[in-house]
Structures are given as structure tokens and as C-alpha cells.
Amino acid sequence: MASIMKKSERKYKITVSNGYRADGRKISKAKTITVPDSVSRRGIEQYVIHAAEEMEREVKNGYSEDGETTFQEYAARWLSRQVKYAPSTRASYERMLQRVYPYIGAVKIKDIRPIALENMLTELRKQTRRGKPIQEATVQKYLTVVSAVLSDAKRNEIIQKNPARMIDLPDTERREQFIPTPEQAKEFLDGLVDEPWQYKAYYLLAIYTGCRRGELCALKWSDFIMDGDRCILTVSRSRSVVAGEGVREGPTKNGKSRIMVIDSDVTSLLKGYCYYQIQTAQELGYESGEYLFTDDFGNLIHPDTFTKHLRKIYEELGFPSEFHLHTLRHYFVTTLLHSGVDKQTVAELAGHGDTSFLERTYCHPQMELKRHAAEVMTQSLLAS
């Protein structure tokens, strides 16, 4: 608790204690405040108590936050606390927040109303990128980050409601996902046979596990534990390209680890790749490293290298230009959903916090079921 000592009618000394030093001396901080003349005599006590509470938060937490804090100040502190997210995710949040600060950054967090956010969205929709209007889905991503900041303020009892949740948003255009057919997937795997070991193992794991690009780049041999002729894989890190900072390693996109089972055929290939990596290191006279995806000199391979090389493979196979590295992840998710694996299991394997993203993004299995239902009705009617 902060102690308050009155020095004069409008001058008070506030002292806050925060534990003890190693020699037993108390750690404390004190400051003297002067209550402004604009505060009535009846309001002096309340003003001083509020100042003492604010100082206590600042001393014990390293910062002071309440409804008077501006959105930009609160958002910056919120972002600094999001250590569970991958560096690239935090960098993305930072870029989106920079876009909204001109509209709501200077507003006290307690004063933000839905209409202010609606005006912000209106202005964002007027902006262009590379000469084209920003898509509605992108505009709503900005609001999603703002909502995350305001939800944190609500959780900390700084505001009572999250105004971002009160906005009626227009529907966004569903982005079409290009999914390889089973025939294309087989052709792709056949095309990997003559690829160098690093690419062969990387793309096989990409389509077999659905892991994100950065998650694959961060894999270590210690992440695999043998279980008979299979192995258990733990995905817990990601190597991502952060603008202005190069490649950085951090947690997965959602900050959570997940466990996957690797079947015997893929495990056998990984054993072959491991042997190749050890043999190459011995021949060139360096110690084999802990990471899976290194070049023939033991250096980590840049994530962009896998993206660029895959485009060449797609071109050689005559695949659509819309295919990219994430397409292999789409194939993984869609195949499991088509095959009847429950959505919760698929979400966990893909590293999603819940099934809502799958339901919004991967409508193909549901549409297949609806088509099947239509066929059943047609056959039933024709039979009668």
C-alpha cells in the first residue's frame, strides 16, 4: 500500500514500498505532488488517492495504465507483453497498429466508442496498396488487432466493454484456396525423387505434416523421438523473416507446441536424410549440426530459398501459378477433413487454436458433403 503524507493544503508526499534489498533495507520510491487549483477542495482527497494508486502500479509493475492512457500507449505496452507469438506475428501486429494510430492513437482508451472505430474503418477503406484499394478482409484484420488490445484492457478492468465487438461489419469476399488433386499430389511426390535431400525431406514433411514454412525451418533432430518404426514429432519453434531484422527464431504462430505422429515410410526417409547429413559433414570436415535443414556446409537454409525452389518444381510439373508453399498445408488440412478426421483433431495438428479458422477457410469438405446429400436425394426421387 502507498502511504500519503500531507505537507500543505494541496501538496502531498506519496511513498510506495516494493520489497527489500539484499542487505535488509526497504526498497521505496517517493514523490511529492501538487493538486491543481482546478480540483475543488472536496475532490482533493479523491485526486490524491488516484495518484497514489497510479504510482503504486508504476512502481510494482513498471508502468501505470488506466482509462486515461491513450490507445497508442496501451497498445505499445500490450504488444511488448505478447512474448508467446512468433517474431513475424508480432511484427505484423506492429505494422497494423501503425496504420490505425493516426485515427485512434491519441484517444484515451476509456473514450473509444464504436463510431470512432467505424470512422477509422471508413478511412482505411479509402487507402490503396500498389494502386489498388485495400481489400475488406485486410481492413478487418486491422480491427481484429485493435479488438485484441481493447479485450486486454477489458480483462484488466480498465474498460467495461470492448467497442470493437459492437461493430456490424460487411461480409468479406471468401478467398479461394487452390488445393492439389490427389493425382497432382502423387505427381508432386514423384517429382521429389531426384531433388537434393534437403528439398526432398522439406517438401515431403510440408505436405505430410501441414507445418508452416518457418516451423519446418526451425526443426531439430531432437524434436523427433523414435517409437518403434515410427517417430513422434514435437513442433515448438519457428524461423521467420522479420522486416528489417532478417531471420529470427521464436515460438510457433500461436505460441503453442503440438505433437504429431510420423508414420514408418516418412520416418525411413528421414533416417536416410540424417545419415546423408552426417556423412556430408564428415567428408567436408565439420561437425553435423542440430537442425534438419542446412546446406552441404552446415549453414541454415533461408526460408525464402524453399519458397523459390518450390516455384521451379511447380513450373516443371506444369502446376497452376496459384500454387505456393502454403498450398501443401492446404492439401494436408483438406485431405484430413475429406477423410472424416474430426475438425478438432485437424485444428490441433495444423496448429490452430480452435476450429473456427477451418470452418471459415476450408469449406470444401462441407460442400462435398452437401453435394453428396443432393445426389442421395436425386437417387431417392428417381428410384421412387
Cβ(203)–Cβ(192) under 8 Å?
yes
Among residues 325, 314, 369, the alpha carbon closest in space to that of 343 is found at: 369
Among residues 101, 122, 112, 124, the alpha carbon closest in space to that of 166 is found at: 112
Q: Is 210 left (phi over 0), alpha (psi -120 to 50) or beta?
A: left
pLDDT digits (tens, 9 = 90+) for 6-39: 999 999 999 888 777 667 777 788 889 999 888 8
Does residue 45 lie within any of the structural domains? yes
Cα 118 from Cα 70, distance rounded (Å): 18
Does residue 373 lie within any of the structural domains? no
263 and 342, same domain (yes or no) = yes
For residue 224, what pLDDT is reported? Answer: 97
Residue 139 corresponds to which amino acid? V
270 and 141, same domain (yes or no) = no
Q: Domain count of the chain?
A: 3
23 and 115, same domain (yes or no) = no
Write the DSSP assignment of 125-150 as a string of letters: HT-EETTEEPPHHHHHHHHHHHHHHH
348 and 231, same domain (yes or no) = yes
Given 112, 132, 166, which residue is the final one in a domain? 166
CA dist list (Å): 298 to 1, 138, 294, 361, 371: 57, 39, 5, 38, 51
For residue 184, what pLDDT is reported? Answer: 94
Task: Give the cell for residue 113.
Answer: 466508442
CATH number at 107 reads 1.10.150.130
Does residue 177 lie within any of the structural domains? no
Cα 272 from Cα 312, distance rounded (Å): 24
For residue 30, what pLDDT is reported? Answer: 86
106 and 7, same domain (yes or no) = no
290 and 240, same domain (yes or no) = yes
For residue 105, what pLDDT is reported? Answer: 94
Does residue 174 lie within any of the structural domains? no
Does residue 175 lie within any of the structural domains? no
pLDDT digits (tens, 9 = 90+) for 189-233: 999 999 999 999 999 999 999 999 999 999 999 999 999 999 999
Is residue 383 scored above 70 in pLDDT?
A: no
Does residue 176 lie within any of the structural domains? no
131 and 224, same domain (yes or no) = no
Give the structural domain span for 115: 71-166
Given 140, 166, 192, which residue is the final one in a domain? 166
229 and 348, same domain (yes or no) = yes
Is residue 314 scored above 60 in pLDDT?
A: yes
313 and 220, same domain (yes or no) = yes
Does residue 347 lie within any of the structural domains? yes
State the average pLDDT over residues 167-173: 80
Cα 55 from Cα 217, distance rounded (Å): 45
75 and 56, same domain (yes or no) = no
54 and 105, same domain (yes or no) = no
Cβ(35)–Cβ(17) under 8 Å?
no
Does residue 194 lie within any of the structural domains? yes
198 and 300, same domain (yes or no) = yes
Cβ(259)–Cβ(236) under 8 Å?
no
CATH number at 316 reads 1.10.443.10
b/e code 298-331 from CB counts within 10 Å (16+ = b): eebbbbeebeebbeebbeeeebeeebebebbbbb
Given 166, 201, 218, which residue is the final one in a domain? 166
Is residue 376 scored above 80 in pLDDT?
A: no
CB atoms within 10 A of CB 42: 7
